[in-house]
Chain A
Amino acid sequence: MAVKAISDYTAVPNDLVENFNGMQLLYVHWVNHNMFCAPFTLLVSPDATLPEVFGSHIQPATAPHPESAKIDYEKIKWELNGEPFTPSQTETLVSQGIDHKSMLRMTTPGLNGLYNASF
């Protein structure tokens, strides 16, 4: 619906990709690991590959969790924006559809968080 206003109401989104100086946002949620209170927001290069982002951003983010070191990258089940997703090892993020403000959910079979509480 349009905003009810006293004149024509137009708006420019505040978070267009061009505002991020050549980078883009990527959200990553490690399912069942609520030690991290919310999905992460990462600032990444659209030309990076997913294994590169995993090493440079995701691993440091999850490192405080005792299960982090046990993650086997090959076994991760990914979802991209709500759909099952098989990432490429070599293609860039943007060329395989991981565009600005996309959200990746990663499930790590066998690693389901601590204390039977998805922590």
Chain B
Amino acid sequence: MTAAKKLNLKQKYQYLTRNMDWEPSYQKKSDIFPQEDFEGIKIVDWDGWEDPFRLTMDSYWKYQAEKEKKLYAIFDAFAQNNGHQNISDARYVNSLKLFLTGVSPLEYAAFQGYSKVGRQFSGAGARVACQMQAIDELRHSQTQQHAMSHYNKHFNGLHDAPLMHDRVWFLSVPKSFFDDARSAGPFEFLTAISFSFEYVLTNLLFVPFMSGAAYNGDMATVTFGFSAQSDEARHMTLGLEIIKFMLEQHEDNVPIVQKWIDKWFWRGFRLLSLVSMMMDYMLPNKVMSWQEAWEVYYEQSGGALFKELARYGIKPPKYQDVANAAKEHISHQLWTTFYQYGHATNFHTWIPKEEEMQWLAEKYPNTFDKYYRPRLEHWDEQHKKGERFYNNTLPQLCQVCQVPVLFTKTEDPTSFSHCDTVHEGERYHFCSEACGEIFEDEPAKYVQALLPVHQIYQGKSGGPELPQVLTDYYHINIGEDNFDYVGSPDEKRWNEIKGIKPLNKDTDAA
């Protein structure tokens, strides 16, 4: 008697993605997969779908379980050893507040999105790939929350991230990004998330956060980063595979995919402006500047990618040049925005110390001293006089990306790149031509946007006055979570941990 030969990985994958699928006989295929055609993408042969990793359930489970075991052992050690005391400076924790409210809920949204589209394709290979990614995203959302939960015991602003994600004004930027993608058809969702987000832009999100964690002594978050790295590599590969698959299936797909690339590159770029300020301003120990990161991870990697896609007739994203030119500005523009609305955030803001100003001036020789240092020094003076600047009037928001209309023109960095349009008798405002163009393509989608500023003025955010909005609706604890870092309970606690005398801003641990 001979033992049954064990299946190899390739055979297992073949069974999972091809042989377990079947042709329906008493239901129409279009009834079973009703969302497959309406976007106009034509798939002639789903067997052309190749998952480069050929992951099967048993190997996935085994591999992830091993990673999980190690990860939680480190979380436990971090908590038992009071790992939060070894970070560079308590200002660092504010980038975790931004991550936990802005990014971790997106992982959950991605889980929902992939679960949904994983049901919508008639090709079993694509369905399996989406289901695996859905599980990854759920796991990332959970492990990120567990990695950061230790900080919630010692610092403010981390206590209600999911609610804040749904309600707080600036978090509508990431939220609306994913809502836009999830409410699109399955192929647009994959272009938006698997390709533009995971492939083109993900390094600009993960490298700064995870290297930032490493540079600032946050072992819990670094370990999460390592544990997610192999998943992210898989997602990136899949993102490219998906695009090539669509492009190879039918030439009619090319203009549709191009339009989505143009749109989702821009939406991703706007979303990442939050990361730009995190890198340049919120990390006490800096990794690299936003400009350097953009040059390495977009201009070089993206350049190579779009060269590769040129043979399919795909061009680089339409507004890529605007994004490239903005690399010298956006982090400063974002930070000065959050600084002035720092009474309405769940994290602290501050004026950089002099050595940080010097670093910024070195990294941004064309722009920092000319445009942005004077702002920061002016506000620093005001603060020292006891008149810390807060902007008490709500800003105009872009109808599409929902960022305040703060970005400036490429040719004139002192004037806003605002534009507007009238659609069916209503006027709409945008931060840029690119966002305006996204609106013009699908106005019916974006006229429904819940812009937080307008929601407040409609009386739908807890009350007519800002303090009520902040406490009752946003769950921000006034005087604890918000306002300047200097004088905050976080700063006080950190100084106690480190034995630093209070109110000695320029001499504490850098």
- Interface residues in chain A, defined as those with a beta carbon under 8 Å from any beta carbon in chain B: 1-6, 9-16, 19-21, 23, 25, 27, 29, 31-32, 34-43, 57, 60-61, 64, 81-82, 99-103, 113-115, 117-119
Contact = CB atoms under 8 A, between A and B. Distances in A.
Contact of B395 (A41, A81, A82): A41
Nearest to B454: A15
A82 B422 CA distance: 13
A33 B337 CA distance: 13
Interface string B380-406: 000000000101111111000000111
B384 to A, nearest CB: 16
A21 B404 contact: no
Interface residues of B, number: 52
Contacts of A3: 442, 444-445
B406 A37 contact: yes
Nearest to A36: B391
B416 interface: yes
Nearest to A14: B448
Nearest to B339: A37
Contacts, number: 138
B429 A103 contact: yes
A113 B415 CA distance: 12
B450 to A, nearest CB: 6
Given A39-B396, A41-B457, A117-B374, 16 more contacts: A3-B445, A14-B450, A15-B454, A15-B458, A29-B396, A38-B395, A38-B406, A40-B395, A41-B397, A81-B420, A99-B427, A101-B427, A102-B427, A114-B374, A115-B378, A117-B371
Interface string B443-469: 011011111011001110000000000
A85 to B, nearest CB: 15
Contacts of B442: 1-3
B34 A40 contact: no
A37 B333 contact: yes
B374 A37 contact: no
B451 A15 contact: yes
A31 B337 CA distance: 17
A interface secondary structure, majority: loop
B437 to A, nearest CB: 11
Interface string B238-262: 0000000000000000000000000
A39 B375 contact: no
Given A114-B378, A115-B378, A61 B392 contact: yes
Given A5-B38, A81-B427, A12 B448 contact: yes
A36 B414 CA distance: 12
Given A19-B458, A37-B336, A117-B370, A11 B447 contact: yes
Contacts of B451: 14-15
Given A36-B391, A39-B416, A41-B453, A15 B426 contact: yes
Contacts of B395: 36-41
Interface string B40-74: 10000000000000000000000000000000000
Given A19-B458, A23-B457, A61 B393 contact: yes
A9 B444 CA distance: 8
Contacts of B370: 117
A27 B372 CA distance: 25
Contacts of B418: 29, 39, 103
Nearest to A61: B393
A2 B40 CA distance: 14
A4 B38 contact: yes
A103 B426 contact: no
B447 A4 contact: no
A37 B391 contact: yes
B340 interface: yes
11 contacts: A6-B34, A25-B457, A34-B414, A36-B340, A37-B404, A41-B395, A41-B396, A41-B457, A82-B420, A118-B414, A119-B374
Contacts of B336: 37
Nearest to B464: A43
Contacts of A14: 447-451, 454
A2 to B, nearest CB: 7
B39 interface: yes
Contacts of A15: 426, 451, 454, 458
